[in-house]
Amino acid sequence: MAEVLASGSAVRFDPMLRKRIAAGQTPAIAANRLQHHYGAGELRKQVLFDNSLEIYPGEIIIMTGPSGSGKTTLLTLIGTLRRVQEGELNVLDRPLHAATQREILDLRRHIGFIFQAHNLFDSLTALQNVRMALELVDPRGSRAEHNRRAKEMLEALGLGNRVHHKPKQLSGGQKQRVAIARGLVHQPRLVLADEPTAALDEASGRTVVELLRRMAKEKQVTIVIVTHDNRILDVADRIVNLVDGRIRSDVLVQEAAIVSQMLSKCELFKHLTPRSLAEMADHLQCETYAAGETVIREGEPGDKFYLIRQGRVSVRRGPEQREVAVLGEGDFFGEIALLEDKPRNASVVTLEPTVLYSLSKPQFQKAMAEQASFETEIRTSLFDRH
pLDDT of residue 274: 73
What distances in angstroms separate CA 154 from CA 143, 150, 177, 215, 383, one per listed residue? 16, 6, 8, 15, 64
pLDDT at 282: 72
Give pLDDT tens digits for 311-365.
Answer: 999 999 999 999 999 999 989 999 988 888 899 999 999 999 998 989 899 888 8
For the entire predicted model, the pTM comes to 0.71
In the predicted model, is pLDDT for residue 4 greater than 70?
Answer: no
376 has a pLDDT exceeding 70: no
Query: What pLDDT, on the 0 to 100 scale, is given for residue 2?
Result: 53
Q: What percent of the chain has pLDDT over 70?
A: 89
Full set of structural domains in the chain with CATH: 17-253 (3.40.50.300), 266-385 (2.60.120.10)
Which carries the bigger pLDDT value, residue 333 or residue 118? 333
Higher-pLDDT residue of 211, 368: 211
Alpha carbon distance 234, 228 (integer Å) = 13
In the prediction, which pLDDT does 20 show? 57
Residues 6+ apart with CB under 8 A from 283: 359, 360, 363
Q: Which pLDDT tens digit goes with each residue over 240-250?
A: 989 999 998 77
- Minimum mean pLDDT among 17-26, 44-53, 156-165, 357-366: which range? 17-26
pLDDT category of residue 34 using cuts at 50, 70 and 90: very high
Residue 166 reports pLDDT greater than 90: yes
